[in-house]
A and B are shown apart, each in its own frame.
Chain A
């Protein structure tokens, strides 16, 4: 099975792309930013989900790790993944990304898809101001700003996301203390169904501007949200082939396990609605159960 460029046949089935040998298409090129620094929350699962779901359809994928000190030619990539990390690693990344990250804007203008999580979201914004007042400068690709908050949101979470006119539920696990406010230059990635979202106040989750998607949802997010993963793959195929998104349809996959994982996480998120954290971690750290 394979992805489809329906424009060639007018049918939005699997024929067009499946009829060609895989070699006829260049692979989806994915840049994985700072994988050795931003590696703690299982977010690497997002890359695994995109890669496997592409390969299962016969769409080749090429992954390049971008580490500290490198200035990649972002324009070469169809997808850029920018994940979460702990405070120490985030500070290291912030310093490097401030130097090398602004080049990403031109690629985004050219339609490169960005999927960012947590620290990635924060550093794509204008800045992160910690509780101690330290400022980490972002690159301003997303019109948002984040301040350190008094507590950590750690819980199953769910939101509604609309892409290409279709609205679906997206689930994940929040683990952040930053409070993010969106400016007029971007919209939210989703509307909160359960969880704190960007700041626990306005019901907005993550940020989106064109082909840049940013969320606070770990989990990792994509493996248990196959619909979202497939939308990113569709966008990537459209970028590879230089066609409109409407012209790309993907062959269906057996998603029984993915849907089960999605539904379990959704049920946990909805059951936890209204509470701020799953386990009151601050108390546990002090051993005051």
Chain B
């Protein structure tokens, strides 16, 4: 039986070019050098160096060899969805190559292929699971020719990079619309703009979402798209599940959430550690308890299940596979810092911040806080969105906050105006010094909560690894 995950032999004979060989060698050496230097996993530099030598290295490795690819894109939840997808595929006996460290720009995705390829340019049998930055997607997708493309959601994220959320939607739209008919387009039906992607496309389409009879959120100032994508009237929500995601309809034009192929029919979030859910699929119902916390985890798990449905892969071991997937690095990750409790939490836009703050609040946190944000290519220039985060609900809990990163100024000012008295705020821009300062002042009966954007997360996690508190982030 032919399935979407069969390797398709190339139409023409491919041979290893000298150029690609050199690209592989250069990329792999760069990764090794970075790791030896203790400067991280080389998850971006590998691809950057390899592309310098051979700009076509990614498509040569992947598309030219007909390697089946699953691409996962969207604003939030890419890394966790990719982890669930990889676990589900592996659970069904399929080999998976996967960029688990979340390096998802052009270089990061190239790194994935280069590091898994052997020196003859062959990737392992099985499936390549790539999370792809929504901005990089239009460039990366043609080089990958994905068999399944999942779009998690669309939230405002890095408007200084994209201009508007609608520009991101258009970029994804162009790729989704051009996906071959036999490839599966997997969309989050609860997100109005994602649900309506590529409406003219007649190829395979799998929808996922939540079907529970209560709201788990309300529309807040962080909500982005609550206008009808067809007629721009205000959408009406029967249930709001997470920010603007929910069961919606438009009374003006009749637009409504499409039927769900994969639906979370029951959901229970247990503290900071676990989420219990039932997932209805076309091939039966799954009951899973996942060792991660939050409504967004249900979306990520359902999305991953929908990918397998789209690929035509069985879900025989799915419940056990999902139950074994712990948090990705820095996603409410609990770390033992030489006997001190530390929670490492990644947040990068209003919705991910609010989701993370809500989860932390279930355990009365954050009280002792290290919070960091930096201007970088991946984290953006404009931090104005911090003013859309509900820091006001967090402020009364905060006993002390060390504020770090190159945009500590904006963060500290925001926390002050949210109600954290300025005498409780200390700016320590350097990440390592901030970590030391936060731990030195940590009362014996407190945990340290580290809330951070992507670049400081990598820096802090590397530092924690050097101190022997955690494993390698690229191996989690």
Supposing A35-B221, A260-B412, A287-B135 touch, asked if A223 and B387 sit within 8 A by C-beta, the answer is: yes
User: Are B381 and A156 touching (Cβ within 8 A)?
Assistant: yes
| Bound Cα distance A88, B105 (Å) | 28
Q: Smallest Cβ distance from A158 to chain B, in angstroms? A: 14
CB-based closest 7 A-B pairs = A287-B139, A42-B384, A45-B387, A42-B387, A264-B409, A261-B409, A261-B413
User: Are B224 and A40 touching (Cβ within 8 A)?
Assistant: yes
B34-42, B123-131, B159-167, B466-474 - interface stretch: B159-167
A220 within 8 A of B: yes
Which range holds the interface residue count of chain B?
A: 35 or more
A42, A91, A256: which contacts B385 (Cβ < 8 A)?
A: A42
| Bound Cα distance A152, B167 (Å) | 12
| Bound Cα distance A256, B165 (Å) | 34
| Bound Cα distance A119, B312 (Å) | 47
A123 within 8 A of B: no
B138, B219, B388, B427: which contacts A42 (Cβ < 8 A)?
A: B388
B63 within 8 A of A: no
Supposing A44-B387, A87-B166, A287-B135 touch, asked if A256 and B422 sit within 8 A by C-beta, the answer is: yes
B232 within 8 A of A: yes
A203-211, A239-247, A276-284 - interface stretch: A276-284
Q: Smallest Cβ distance from A94 to chain B, in angstroms? A: 12
Q: Smallest Cβ distance from B8 to chain A, in angstroms? A: 25
User: Are A257 and B422 touching (Cβ within 8 A)?
Assistant: yes
Known: A44-B387, A279-B377. 17 other contacts (CB 8 A): A39-B223, A40-B165, A41-B159, A45-B387, A87-B166, A88-B166, A92-B232, A152-B163, A154-B160, A173-B384, A175-B382, A254-B422, A261-B409, A268-B381, A278-B381, A279-B161, A279-B380
User: Are A48 and B387 touching (Cβ within 8 A)?
Assistant: yes
User: Are A91 and B412 touching (Cβ within 8 A)?
Assistant: no
A39-71 near B? 1/0 per residue, CB < 8 Å: 111111100110010000000000000001000
| Bound Cα distance A43, B350 (Å) | 13
A285 within 8 A of B: yes
Q: Which residues of B contact A175 (CB under 8 A)?
A: 159-160, 163, 382
| Bound Cα distance A261, B425 (Å) | 14
B135, B164, B388, B417: which contacts A223 (Cβ < 8 A)?
A: B417
Q: Which residues of A contact B160 (CB under 8 A)?
A: 154, 173, 175, 278-279, 281
Supposing A173-B382, A219-B384 touch, asked if A40 and B409 sit within 8 A by C-beta, the answer is: no
Which residues from chain B sit less than 8 Å from chain A, CB to CB?
105-106, 135-140, 156, 159-168, 171, 219, 221, 223-224, 226-227, 232, 234, 375, 377, 380-388, 407, 409-410, 412-414, 416-418, 422, 425, 427
Q: Which residues of A contact B385 (CB under 8 A)?
A: 41-42
User: Are A285 and B167 touching (Cβ within 8 A)?
Assistant: yes
Closest to B411 in A: A261
B166, B380, B417: which contacts A52 (Cβ < 8 A)?
A: B417
A218 within 8 A of B: yes
User: Are B165 and A86 touching (Cβ within 8 A)?
Assistant: yes
Q: Smallest Cβ distance from B4 to chain A, in angstroms? A: 25
Q: Smallest Cβ distance from A230 to chain B, in angstroms? A: 14
Q: List 5 A-B contacts (CB under 8 A).
A: A36-B226, A44-B221, A87-B166, A154-B161, A260-B412
A74-96 near B? 1/0 per residue, CB < 8 Å: 00000000000011110110000
User: Are B227 and A88 touching (Cβ within 8 A)?
Assistant: yes
Q: Smallest Cβ distance from A33 to chain B, in angstroms? A: 14
| Bound Cα distance A20, B297 (Å) | 54
| Bound Cα distance A234, B388 (Å) | 26
A10 within 8 A of B: no
Q: Smallest Cβ distance from B159 to chain A, in angstroms? A: 6
Q: Smallest Cβ distance from A149 to chain B, in angstroms? A: 12
Q: Which residues of B contact A177 (CB under 8 A)?
A: 163
| Bound Cα distance A220, B383 (Å) | 9
| Bound Cα distance A69, B336 (Å) | 54
Which residues from chain A sit less than 8 Å from chain B, CB to CB?
35-36, 39-45, 48-49, 52, 68, 86-89, 91-92, 152, 154-156, 173, 175, 177, 218-220, 223-224, 254, 256-258, 260-261, 263-265, 268, 278-279, 281, 284-289
| Bound Cα distance A39, B226 (Å) | 12
- Most chain A CB inside 10 Å of its own CB: which residue of B139, B171, B412, B417: B417
Closest to A154 in B: B160
Q: Which residues of B contact A264 (CB under 8 A)?
A: 407, 409-410
| Bound Cα distance A266, B144 (Å) | 42
Supposing A154-B163, A261-B409, A287-B140 touch, asked if A223 and B171 sit within 8 A by C-beta, the answer is: no
| Bound Cα distance A100, B363 (Å) | 46
User: Are B166 and A257 touching (Cβ within 8 A)?
Assistant: no
Q: Which residues of A contact B388 (CB under 8 A)?
A: 39-40, 42, 44
A44, A45, A257, A287: which contacts B136 (Cβ < 8 A)?
A: A287
Q: Smallest Cβ distance from B276 to chain A, in angstroms? A: 33
Q: Which residues of B contact A49 (CB under 8 A)?
A: 417
User: Are B382 and A285 touching (Cβ within 8 A)?
Assistant: no
Closest to A288 in B: B139
Closest to A151 in B: B163
| Bound Cα distance A288, B382 (Å) | 21
Q: Which residues of A contact B135 (CB under 8 A)?
A: 284-285, 287
User: Are B413 and A92 touching (Cβ within 8 A)?
Assistant: no
User: Are A224 and B410 touching (Cβ within 8 A)?
Assistant: yes
Q: Which residues of B contact A36 (CB under 8 A)?
A: 219, 221, 223, 226
| Bound Cα distance A173, B384 (Å) | 8
Q: Which residues of A contact B422 (CB under 8 A)?
A: 254, 256-257
A218, A261, A288, A289: which contacts B412 (Cβ < 8 A)?
A: A261
- Most chain B CB inside 10 Å of its own CB: which residue of A39, A86, A278, A285: A285
Closest to A221 in B: B384
Supposing A44-B387, A87-B164, A287-B140 touch, asked if A261 and B410 sit within 8 A by C-beta, the answer is: yes
Closest to B107 in A: A289
User: Are B138 and A286 touching (Cβ within 8 A)?
Assistant: yes
